[in-house]
Amino acid sequence: MSTRWICDGSMVNTNFSNYIRRLAMGCLASLSLMMAMGCGFSGGEFLYMMGVGKSIMVEPQYKLSEEPVLVLVDDPGQVIDWPEAWNYLTDDLSQALVKHEAATHVVPRSTIENLRRTHLDFDKRGCREIGQLAGASQVLWVEVEDFLAQEDIHDAGNAAYAIASVKVIDVNGEQRSRVRVWPTSPTGHVVSVRLSGSDVARLRTKDAICKELSELLTDKISKLFYSYEADDFDGPK
């Protein structure tokens, strides 16, 4: 078998390299012949037929129920120090799920607020029970694990961030082992977003920083539940 060394010290099979070159030359020759024969399509169209430039769809990791879904943003460690941030996360995620048809019906935030006022032990209830009180069939449970939205920049590359774990809870599950329907890991699916020092300087106020973090986190979480087009060069949009 013929081999040669390349600059990083690894060996390459020259027979394989020659095969690749012959294949590429064959494709170009075929393209030239078909264009000369007037096959009716351009070189760009030929490349598209060969699969170059076609969009790639990313499938959802889980499909939510067609019945009402409750978006429950939980902050067990009380790491969110800006009251409006909880509202931003709840509203942005609810709207994104409906916009992208990931959920047919999402329980409005006002329902959760009413439950907080009418049930003094609301914070002691589990998410499954809260979902039942809200009339939902599933709960999209977002636990915020860490959150930083400060106007003062201490780390230029990691000036603001939000980290959360995501789980889907079946409100009507009879067995404890079947209450959490997604993901299989008991710790949930961890999602994180970050802002650089230049981002924070551009946003200026704490409220604007929280809004930006909410939009970024919402985008990542909602994409777990609907199909979307991936970018050929930059990865998922």
Instruction: Evaluate whether 141 touches 166 at the Cβ level (below 8 Å).
Output: yes
Look up residue 3 and give its two tokens: 């081999």
Q: Which of 96, 138, 88, 136 is nearest to 115 (CA)?
A: 136
| pLDDT reading at 11 higher than 60 | no
Q: Which of 145, 131, 148, 125 is nearest to 194 (CA)?
A: 148
What does the pLDDT average to over 81-108?
97
Q: Pairing mode, if any, of strands 69-74 and 228-231?
A: unpaired
| pLDDT reading at 3 higher than 50 | no
10 confidence band (pLDDT: 50, 70, 90) = very low
Measured CA to CA, the distance from residue 107 to residue 182 in angstroms comes to 19
15 confidence band (pLDDT: 50, 70, 90) = low
Measured CA to CA, the distance from residue 122 to residue 139 in angstroms comes to 15
Instruction: Evaluate whether 102 touches 225 at the Cβ level (below 8 Å).
Output: yes
55 confidence band (pLDDT: 50, 70, 90) = confident
Measured CA to CA, the distance from residue 62 to residue 60 in angstroms comes to 5
Calculate the average pLDDT of the chain.
83
Note the pLDDT of residue 20.
Answer: 52
Host H or E run for residue 146 = strand 138-149
230 confidence band (pLDDT: 50, 70, 90) = confident
Residue with tokens 């981002």: 199
| pLDDT reading at 125 higher than 90 | yes
Q: Which domains does the chain have, with CATH numbers?
A: 3-54 (no CATH), 69-233 (3.40.50)
What does the pLDDT average to over 131-144?
97
2 confidence band (pLDDT: 50, 70, 90) = very low
